[in-house]
């Protein structure tokens, strides 16, 4: 049987966390920080989908008419209108308890997907806060899995 080609945001968040921690422990800080941002993005998408957000054929959050697109990176999730829509969706599905576990999610406000092109000296010195926030996402995913929200 061929492996699924659908997105696995929960598994991706876990994989990115392991790789980010490994890179960080080997002093590869810029790429570790980049992966911590992907942990947060994938974790939020896993939660959305676990709580019933519709998906497209690839398993990504489906763009719904009149709503922000959740097929974005963590910095865009933090845009005020997107974050408000995220909170509204979660609140309607008893998901506020999971968002409440992410007190540091706003620490990704200076994370950018374009950092992958920057020189190391031009990157924000935010690894410590990004790592802490990514680990909060990991604990939130553990809780959601224990609660049966995702497999």
115/108 Cα distance (integer angstroms): 12
Express each pLDDT in 92-123 by its tens digit.
999 999 999 999 999 999 999 999 999 999 99
What digits encode the pLDDT tens for the residues 28-75?
Answer: 999 999 999 999 999 999 999 999 999 999 999 999 888 889 999 999
pLDDT at 2: 55
Q: Alpha-carbon distance 92 to 82, whole Å?
A: 15
**Neighbouring C-beta atoms of residue 37, cutoff 10 Å:** 23
d(CA 46, CA 28): 27
**Residue 47 pLDDT:** 97
Question: In this model, does residue 5 exceed pLDDT 80?
Answer: no
Residue 1 has pLDDT above 60, yes or no: no
Segment holding 135, helix H or strand E: helix 127-146
Closest CA to 112 of 47, 45, 33: 33
pLDDT score, position 64: 84
* pLDDT over threshold 80, residue 142: yes
């Amino acid at each position: 049987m061929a492996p699924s080609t659908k997105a696995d945001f929960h598994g991706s968040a876990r994989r990115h966390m392991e790789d980010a921690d490994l890179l960080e422990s080997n002093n590869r800080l810029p790429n570790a920080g980049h992966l911590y941002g992907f942990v947060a993005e994938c974790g939020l998408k896993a939660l959305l989908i676990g709580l019933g957000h519709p998906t497209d054929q690839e398993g990504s959050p489906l763009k719904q008419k009149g709503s922000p697109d959740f097929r974005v990176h963590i910095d865009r999730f933090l845009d005020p209108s997107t974050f408000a829509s995220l909170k509204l969706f979660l609140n309607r599905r008893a998901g506020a308890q999971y968002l409440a576990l992410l007190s540091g999610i706003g620490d990704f406000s200076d994370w950018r997907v374009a950092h992958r092109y920057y020189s190391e000296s031009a990157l924000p010195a935010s690894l410590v806060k990004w790592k802490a926030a990514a680990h909060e996402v990991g604990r939130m995913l553990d809780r959601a899995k224990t609660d049966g929200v995702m497999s």
